[in-house]
Amino acid sequence: MAQKEVSHKKAAVLGLQHLLAMYSGAVAVPLLIGTALKFNSEQMTYLVSIDIFMCGLATMIQLFRNKYFGIGLPVVLGCAIQAVAPLEMIGQKFSTNTMYGAIIVAGIFVFLVAGWFSKIKKLFPPVVTGTLITVIGLTL
């Protein structure tokens, strides 16, 4: 498929749209978690800053394609809204350090298991994934 030239004006508008979509998603999750855990402004700033940094780092990793990771496309990776409730509960019941540790363990787990998803893809037809996405959307 041949790529066509995009005008600078259209590229700027699409870039702004991409930035706003990414930024709202990247900032909403830490704000929800920080508010639920009654973070002060310094803690909230740290949480949002580290989230934006890690989203940028993950996006950069996705830009480069190799045998193990990366898709070679500028796909923005951000926080999953599904993680808000469990992280709030962990932070309230235990501590923020435990919450951060849970995030690290979950990230390592996803990294190790991600390669197997292509092998079990047949177990998840569109009716299953569509139902799951609908249920997640309805519970938000």
The residues near 70 (Cβ < 8 Å, ≥ 6 apart) are: 61, 62, 63, 64
pTM of the model: 0.71
Task: Convert the pLDDT of each residue in 9-48 to its tens digit.
Answer: 988 888 888 888 777 778 889 999 999 999 999 999 999 9
pLDDT of residue 1: 53
Return the pLDDT at 2. Answer: 59
Q: Which two tokens stand for residue 111?
A: 């990294």
Per-residue pLDDT of the chain (140 residues; tens, 9 = 90+): 557 777 889 888 888 888 887 777 788 899 999 999 999 999 999 999 999 898 888 888 888 887 777 788 777 788 888 889 999 999 999 999 999 999 999 989 988 888 788 788 888 899 988 998 899 888 87
Cα separations in angstroms, 92 against 18, 22, 96, 98, 99 = 34, 28, 8, 10, 9
pLDDT of residue 120: 85
